[in-house]
């Protein structure tokens, strides 16, 4: 039976691994688009918006509300992809155990 020191050591190793994976995932970029690729966005693993690319053709219609909706849709989708990737990777590392405050 493992003693308390062994359990603590294992917990520290797991904590370091989780922190490293979390840092690596945060550094990655996640992209999504909407409107058939008319709006493309990129977010970080921390859900920070890095870039927005808008096809100039979209301005031909002059529909500002549609453009706004496409931006919101693309950002939400990119953030969802980043969040789900983080949850999946962290869940794999933690053996599927949901650790509060981790992700």
Q: Is the pLDDT of residue 1 over 80?
A: no
pLDDT at position 98 is 64
pLDDT at position 63 is 87
What per-residue string of b and e applies to 5-41 under the rule 16 or more CB within 10 Å gives b? eeeeeeeeeeeeebeebbeebeeeebbbbbbeebbbb
Q: Is the pLDDT of residue 84 over 70?
A: yes
Domains and CATH numbers, the chain: 4-93 (3.30.1310.10)
């Amino acid at each position: 039976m493992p003693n308390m020191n062994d359990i603590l050591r294992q917990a520290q190793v797991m904590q370091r691994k989780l922190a490293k994976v979390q840092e690596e995932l945060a550094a990655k970029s996640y992209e999504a688009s909407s409107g058939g690729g008319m709006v493309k966005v990129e977010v970080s693993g921390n859900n920070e918006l890095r870039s927005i690319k808008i096809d100039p053709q979209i301005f031909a219609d002059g529909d500002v509300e549609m453009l706004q909706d496409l931006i919101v849709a693309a950002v939400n989708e990119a953030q969802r992809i980043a969040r789900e990737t983080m949850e999946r990777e962290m869940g794999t590392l933690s053996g599927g155990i949901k650790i509060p405050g981790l992700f």
